[in-house]
Amino acid sequence: MNGDLVLLIVVVITALSFDFTNGFHDTANAMATSIATGALKPKVAVALSAVLNFVGAFLSLKVAATIANGIVDSGAITLTVVFAGLVGGLAWNLITWYYGIPSSSSHALIGGVVGATLLASGIKAVKGEGLMSHVIIPAVLAPVAAIAVATVGTFLVYVLTRQVAEKTRTKGFKIGQIGSASLVSLAHGTNDAQKTMGIITLALIANGTITQHAGTPFWVVVCSATAIAAGTYIGGWRVIRTLGKGLTEIETPQGFAAETSSATVILTSTHFGFPLSTTQVCTGSVIGAGLGKRLAQVRWSVAARMGLAWLITLPAAALVGAVAFGAAHLIGGALGVIVVFTAAVVFAALLYLASRKTAVNAGNVNDEWVGSGTPTQVGTPV
């Protein structure tokens, strides 16, 4: 087995691992509100979301074999840069999961690639304008748009249905909420699984395994769909808890309005080609659902933690990406990549072990929210 093949295999495994973390990190986007309101049992919710993510991955197969397109000079993208970028995104996904913070997997990946590229090819290879228009401005606008839609939606929903019998209202909105959450899951599968397919296809082309115009091999589609669905099913309970219980207490009508808002904002942004992060949209929708109901409380300290995490997503992932590239480059060849990969696996294992001390699972995900709201306070109501 030669060095190139080893490198390719490690890149593919890392890409699928990233896809897996993408899945469990983002389960919350679609399902946190349905779990919080009891519209769906926690396990049922993650299973439904997993199936829809899997199906979504097959819906549209116009895969673009790109990574950080328009942000990094495509000539600067080598297999090692892709690998280091993935490690940066992975690390940031795992850290934010540990702290129960919903954060954009796409932005983390872009950060990782930018960091690796900076070290590999210098500042010239990074397009500042692309970074601004693809990441930074959308990151500010996504929550704003979602908050606006969800606030008005929630307000209207409560005003319109104030005469409707409580039983009918709760049951009706439960059904509506499950429907709109399903749409968000489906959209997530089409969007995010395709990114991994694109990365693996890019790696295969770079290695000469397939030609530029060969299209994505079917095994890549199946593996990416499976990885994201498996991740979704594992359920990022820590993030689900923050989004469903931490930001605001959600009732069924609010959950319905929030998910409807998320689905429409995500799909219109897809349609008009203005990329908005699913995670930021969904978080904004939940905040809006809190604002739209009179006297509902939004825990701004929790929202501020998220805002801070979003601010440092790009530089933090970039730092890890750069360090990963530096280390792999310094050691050199396939061995360098294997050493960095091993370090990433050890880091993930340690973080997982640390998370066991304050484990969040299907059983305690809906416990009362206490304290300043980190998952460490789970299960210890005051």
Partner 1 sequence: MSWIDTDALWRVMVASLVGGVGIAALFSVGLIGLSSGRTVGRVAGGVCFVLVIAGVLLGVYVMLDK
Residues near partner 1 (CB under 8 A) are 56, 59-60, 62, 129, 132-133, 137, 141, 145, 148-150, 152-154, 156-157, 160-161, 163-165, 168-169, 172-173, 176, 179, 183, 186-187, 190, 256-257, 260-261, 263-265, 267-274, 276
- Shortest gap between Cβ of 148 and partner 1 (angstroms)? 7
Q: Which is nearer to partner 1, 152 or 312 (CB)?
A: 152
Q: What is the DSSP letter of 164?
A: S
Smaller CB separation from partner 1, 43 or 127: 127
Tokens of 319: 């730092």
As measured in angstroms, the least distance from the Cβ of 186 to partner 1 is 7
In 10 A of CB 279, how many CB atoms?
A: 29
Measure the CA–CA gap between 266 and 335, rounded to whole angstroms. Answer: 41
- DSSP 8-state code for residue 368: P
Cβ proximity of 267 and 187 under 8 Å: yes
Task: Provide the minimum distance between the beta carbon of 155 and partner 1 in the complex, in angstroms, as a whole number.
Answer: 9
Helix (H, G, I), strand (E, B) or coil at 242: helix
298: three-class secondary structure by DSSP: strand
CB 295 → partner 1: shortest distance, Å?
A: 20
Between 106 and 264, whose beta carbon lies closer to partner 1? 264
Minimum distance from CB of 106 to partner 1 (Å)?
15
Question: Where do runs of H (alpha helix) occur along the chain?
Answer: 3-37, 42-59, 79-98, 105-121, 128-131, 137-160, 166-188, 194-206, 218-234, 237-241, 252-271, 278-292, 300-331, 333-356
Looking at the DSSP assignment, which residues form a beta bridge with residue 126?
A: 72
Could you tell me the smallest distance in angstroms from the CB atom of residue 228 to partner 1?
15
| Shortest reach from residue 334's CB to partner 1, in Å | 36
Instruction: Report the residue number, 7 or 146, with the smaller CB distance to partner 1.
Output: 146
Q: What is the DSSP letter of 136?
A: I
Backbone angles phi, psi at 217, to 5 degrees: -60, 150
Closest to partner 1 by CB, 257 vs 340, is: 257
Query: For 379, left (φ over 0), alpha (ψ -120 to 50), or beta?
Result: left
Shorter beta-carbon distance to partner 1: residue 1 or 165: 165
User: Whose Cβ is closer to partner 1: residue 156's or residue 304's?
Assistant: 156
